[in-house]
Amino acid sequence: MRKVLYSAAVVGGGGGGSHSPASPSFLVHNKDNVNAQLYRAQNLLALWDFEVYKGRIGRTHVILHKTDDLSVLKIMPTSCRSRYFDDGRLYMSRRIRKRLGKYERVPGLMETLTYDTKRIGKREAWASFGRDTRRFLNAVNQYRKRRGWRRLHYLWVVEVQSGTGYPHVHIFFPNLRWLAPLSIINGNWREGRANVESPKKIKVNCAAYISKYLRKMRGWSDLHLALLWIGKCRMYSFSRGFSAKIEKRESEWQRWQIIEAKNLEELEFNLMKGGFVIDITKSNLASQVGLN
């Protein structure tokens, strides 16, 4: 009998007097608040997982030994190769300069791909910008191929768009004066969820151009780095055949062990206590010794 009376009260608008049900909570009717809270919770979880991962990288060190004297060691932090640390991004910018080779100082065109914030969420944009960029470039290349034009060489890099926090993709096309009609460019930025700026003629050092955006990552928040990490996204990419091969030099150091240590001084003390000598001279070993 109680069930019948309650249902009647709901349908009839509470005409049963003092026993009318309470008003529905905002969790049912205010979907915007629910989505906002869910988005914040997802971001907090992503940030938490990323901070744990970043902390582990910061505590991990690679122990190298000298090839001609196994008693001499050098300790290299893995952060020197990680894009989530300043030293790692500096290493990346130097590596890019080497990979550019003959394209290091050439003019060209620049394309900037900007997401429409009204058509896609920030988290979705960060998860898909790499695929979207590849799809866009493949479509433009197909258009050019059908007309007998040469295949594009390019180098793209992502940054955080000021004000929105969305990914902002800059593409550099070296030695190029004409990309495609604007209708083709805009039409191939899929699903109409982005605004594509007109190509701009730029005359800069190509390596300096790309390095500028990598080093601007000092201004990125850990949340945006976390979104990169969760989506396994790349910060930059070369087209096939664009970059030059990097010759690996013979190194006097070889990897011995990978150790996670909270206290670097304690690690050095224990190694020296074991009869080893720690080499503290600075050198660019990151480009010679694989740390992956």
Residue reference for tokens 């433009």 = 140
Within the chain, residue ranges assigned H as helices are: 2-12, 26-29, 31-59, 86-100, 122-146, 182-187, 206-215, 222-230, 264-273
Tell me the per-residue pLDDT of 176-204, one tens digit each, with 9 for 90 and over.
Answer: 888 888 888 888 886 655 666 555 555 56
Across the range 118-124, mean pLDDT stands at 85
pTM assigned to the model: 0.72
pLDDT of residue 17 exceeding 70, the answer is no
Per the CB < 8 A criterion, the answer to whether 261 and 59 are in contact is: yes
- Residue 143's contacts (CB-CB under 8 Å, 6 or more residues apart) are 180, 184, 188
Better-predicted residue by pLDDT, 171 or 194:
171
Per the CB < 8 A criterion, the answer to whether 96 and 211 are in contact is: yes
Confidence at 10, pLDDT banded by 50, 70, 90: very low
Most confident of 20-24, 147-151, 215-219: 147-151
Tell me the per-residue pLDDT of 71-120, one tens digit each, with 9 for 90 and over.
Answer: 889 998 988 888 888 888 888 888 888 888 777 777 788 888 988 888 88
